[in-house]
Amino acid sequence: MGKIQTAQKMPPIEQLRGRTLGRILIKMGVLSRDKVHECLKIQGQRGGGVQIGQIFLELGLVDEAQLQMALAAQRGMEHVSLDGIDIPSDVVEKVPAQMAKTYHIVPIEYNKGLNELIVALDNPENFRATDDLSTLMGFKVTAKITDSDALEKALTKHYKTQDENINELIDEIQSDTFLAEFDGRNQSIDLDELKELSESNPVKKLLNLVLLQAIRDKASDIHFEPFEDEYKMRYRIDGVLYEMVPPPKYIAAAL
């Protein structure tokens, strides 16, 4: 039915949002109306269980990248090329390595005034990534689509170090001289000090990692439990409470 055509310049997203996949690919210059109608007939013959995009792929009318661009445009997402983009280190640090690798996203731009983080992902249906990133990190998240190979290269380039784990973060907290000043002072920390404590980098990283691990393990709830001589973190999976490595008690108020 013909070989893949080269896509023309992408029309404005506003013209594509919410339209059918066939109509979007026509506007992109990838498919003709006749080809779309022919594929719709095939879809009808096969029954309602086959996606039209799968038929376009099977017949060699589009490639995976073109299909992903069209699906993204259908949802109002712009396409971004990561080739040659220099992502500042302070933007990369907005998303912990474990979160970036788990959700397969790379932060590419940060607007401080709007607290908006723009991220690249390779799956336009990856709504959980943007929702969790917004919930856990507090950003207004805008997602753009990119191709899988480019995203994988960006992840490798910007997150070279091994993933941090809770044990390592607790070691970091215990060796932090600023945080150590709060040891034994749980009853005498004023609000300004508490704010400074809660915004310290090791504490924020620990909390984000705990929440991310709970989400990844499909925990139904998380328990932060201060006791007289210790502090416990536990989460529930299928009705069973699992205990995590406890942090020092003196950061309890910050968590």
Range with lowest mean pLDDT among 90-94, 235-239, 243-247? 243-247
To the question of pTM greater than 0.85 for the whole model, the response is: no
Please state which of the ranges 36-40, 142-146, 169-173 shows the lowest mean pLDDT.
Answer: 169-173
Q: Residue 63 and residue 254: Cα distance in Å, rounded? A: 50
Domain boundaries, the chain: 13-74, 89-158, 166-251
pLDDT over threshold 60, residue 186: no
Same fold, 89-158 and 166-251: no
| Res. 13: pLDDT tops 70 | yes
89-158: what CATH class? alpha beta
- Check if CATH label 1.10.357 holds for domain 166-251: no
Q: What is the pLDDT, as a whole number, of residue 15?
A: 82
Considering 52-56, 82-86, 132-136, 226-230, the range whose residues carry the highest mean pLDDT is 52-56
Three-state secondary-structure class, residue 253? coil
b/e burial code for range 174-209 (CB count within 10 A of at least 16 → b): eebeebeebeeeeeebeeeeeeebeebebbebbbbb
Per-residue pLDDT, 106: 95
221 Cβ contact partners less than 8 Å away, ≥ 6 residues apart: 235, 236
pLDDT digits 0-9 by tens, 190-217: 677 667 766 777 777 777 778 777 777 7
